[in-house]
Amino acid sequence: MTSLPDLIKPIPYRENISFSKLTTLGVGGQCKLLFEPVDEGQARSLVKTFIREGWSYRILGGGSNLVVLSDIDEPVIRLNFKKELKVRGREITAPANYGHIRLSQEVALQGLSGMEYASGIPGTTGGALHMNAGAYGRELVQILSRYRYINPEGDVIDAVPDSSNFGYRWSHLGSGYVALNFTVCLTPGDTKSIQAEVESNLHKRGSSQPLSKRNAGCIFKNPEGHSAGRLIDQAGLKGYRVGDAEVSSEHANFLINHGKATAQEFYDLMIQVQSKVQSRYGITLEPEVEVWGNIN
Ligand SMILES: Cc1cc2nc3c(=O)[nH]c(=O)nc-3n(C[C@H](O)[C@H](O)[C@H](O)COP(=O)(O)OP(=O)(O)OC[C@H]3O[C@@H](n4cnc5c(N)ncnc54)[C@H](O)[C@@H]3O)c2cc1C
């Protein structure tokens, strides 16, 4: 990349940050240029400038759904907005860099029901919107009342959810879109029972997921009518290891980094799991995680 255009020079940025620090899985190369805009105006200036210069760019949230395989040369935007909630009765608006788990805990404390399912889903609210994150048969779009984003043309859009724009671990906010905030509409309930459900969900995860090891959550989507974890387990792959990357023996759809896994090892493990499940069941497992970069 040539030198930075003047318009975006005042926007905070850092160079050469390792993706091991930016993602929960901890593999990958360097993030060559990480911009951290502090408000919507700065985020929009970045997008407009990148469009004008013809540069592609990426958006990073909490890095909890990412497998990064190499250095990323394109500029990466990670929002650093003020982490403040706006509460209007049953409606809560959160900036897109707000912690998703923190939001579910805070609304529970306020006696608002509807986000209990999210109490163990890490990352940011922006990442949750992009992914339409969900668990236990619930997903974000079910409680979403409004959301605000920058589109790939650099316009700020206020939207209400339309079912055609959200699906299973998918939303229309694909490449080039920057989620800015969202508003959820919740139901008043009994604080103690809401918090009890939050605790119970956290407990379920603690006892079924390898949370003491670095991971990126479920690696593969559940194929129609199947559980990806069950298929991987029944293919005898729990504990299967490539270097420091391993199929968790607690939850087969979690691939874990024992500490020193390389991107190559992680990639090889993903490919081998896919190919063994394919040859045994004829089912193609599709990644639920986003994969950035390439193995050379
Ligand atoms: C232990 C563990 C458990 C998990 N359990 C679940 C679960 O039960 N259900 C579930 O759905 N997921 C789960 N996940 C996956 C992950 O936490 C979610 O998908 C989460 O919503 C990703 O958010 P993030 O901020 O970390 O996104 P990132 O990983 O940073 O990014 C993921 C994608 O979202 C995009 N993105 C991030 N922020 C924005 C933004 N502001 N605007 C536009 N695009 C953006 C990125 O460009 C990228 O394409 C789990 C992960 C872990 C590690």
d(CA 243, CA 235): 20
**pLDDT tens digits, 112-131:** 999 999 999 999 999 999 99
Residues whose CB falls within 8 Å of the CB of residue 190, separated by 6 or more in sequence, listed in order? 111
Residue 114 lies in a domain: yes
**pLDDT tens digits, 62-101:** 999 999 999 999 999 999 999 999 999 999 999 999 999 9
d(CA 90, CA 110): 10
Residues 158, 249: one domain? no
Number of domains in the chain: 3
**Ligand 1, atom 45: nearest CA belongs to which residue?**
127
Nearest CA-CA partner of 122 in 38, 244, 211, 252: 211
User: For the chain, what is the mean pLDDT?
Assistant: 96
Q: What is the CATH number of the domain that holds 104?
A: 3.30.465.10
Residues 118, 149: one domain? yes
Confidence (pLDDT) at 178: 98
Residue 292 lies in a domain: no
Q: Does residue 65's CB lie within 6 angstroms of at least one atom of ligand 1? A: yes
Residue 30 lies in a domain: yes
Residues 93, 186: one domain? yes
Range of the domain at 235: 209-287
Residue 184 lies in a domain: yes
List the end-to-end C-alpha distance of the chain, in Å, as a whole number: 21
Residues whose CB falls within 8 Å of the CB of residue 229, separated by 6 or more in sequence, listed in order? 218, 251, 252, 253, 254
Q: How far is the CA of 3 from the centre of ligand 1 (A)?
A: 31
The whole-number average pLDDT for the span 199-214 is 91
> Of 31, 49, 77, which marks where a domain is finished?
77
Q: Does residue 123's CB lie within 6 angstroms of at least one atom of ligand 1? A: yes
Q: How confident is the model at residue 1 (pLDDT cuts 50, 70, 90)?
A: low
**Ligand 1, atom 28: nearest CA belongs to which residue?**
63
Nearest CA-CA partner of 43 in 140, 122, 126, 103: 126
Query: 254: which strand partners?
Result: 218
- pTM for the predicted model, two decimal places: 0.95
> Of 77, 100, 120, which marks where a domain is finished?
77
Candidates 65, 79, 138, 209: which one to mutate for ligand 1, based on the most atoms within 8 Å of Cβ? 65
pLDDT above 70: residue 2: no
Q: What is the CATH number of the domain that holds 234?
A: 3.90.78.10
**pLDDT tens digits, 140-160:** 999 999 999 999 999 999 999
Residues 278, 226: one domain? yes
Residues 100, 173: one domain? yes
The whole-number average pLDDT for the span 288-294 is 95
The whole-number average pLDDT for the span 171-179 is 97
Residue 136 lies in a domain: yes
Q: Does residue 95's CB lie within 6 angstroms of at least one atom of ligand 1? A: no
DSSP track, 161-180: --GGGEETTEES--TT-EEE
What is the chain's percent helix, strand, coil content, to nearest 5? 30, 25, 40
Q: Does residue 49's CB lie within 6 angstroms of at least one atom of ligand 1? A: no
How many Å is the maximal CA-CA distance in the chain?
A: 57
**Ligand 1, atom 11: nearest CA belongs to which residue?**
133
Candidates 25, 80, 131: which one to mutate for ligand 1, based on the most atoms within 8 Å of Cβ? 131
Residues 61, 90: one domain? no
Q: Does residue 173's CB lie within 6 angstroms of at least one atom of ligand 1? A: yes
Residues 60, 156: one domain? no
Confidence (pLDDT) at 225: 95
Residue 267 contacts residue 289 (beta carbons within 8 Å): no
Residues 91, 165: one domain? yes
Residue 154 lies in a domain: yes
**Which atom of ligand 1 lies at the shortest distance from residue 129's CA?**
21
Q: How far is the CA of 292 from the centre of ligand 1 (A)?
A: 13
Nearest CA-CA partner of 61 in 214, 178, 189, 172: 178
Q: What is the CATH number of the domain that holds 53?
A: 3.30.43.10
Q: How far is the CA of 5 from the centre of ligand 1 (A)?
A: 30
The CA dihedral of 271, 276, 281, 284, to the nearest 10 degrees, is 0
DSSP reduced 3-state for 159: strand
Q: Does residue 217's CB lie within 6 angstroms of at least one atom of ligand 1? A: yes
d(CA 247, CA 141): 31
Tell the residue number behind the tokens 């970069």, with chain if given. 293
Residue 198 lies in a domain: no
Confidence (pLDDT) at 3: 82
The whole-number average pLDDT for the span 151-179 is 96
Residues 94, 147: one domain? yes
Residue 213 contacts residue 256 (beta carbons within 8 Å): yes
**Ligand 1, atom 1: nearest CA belongs to which residue?**
217
Candidates 35, 56, 68, 121: which one to mutate for ligand 1, based on the most atoms within 8 Å of Cβ? 121
Q: Does residue 103's CB lie within 6 angstroms of at least one atom of ligand 1? A: no
Residues 277, 187: one domain? no
Confidence (pLDDT) at 7: 86
Q: Does residue 26's CB lie within 6 angstroms of at least one atom of ligand 1? A: no
Nearest CA-CA partner of 109 in 124, 97, 92: 92
Residue 292 contacts residue 72 (beta carbons within 8 Å): yes
DSSP reduced 3-state for 21: helix
CA angle 217, 221, 223 (to 5 degrees): 150
Residue 120 lies in a domain: yes
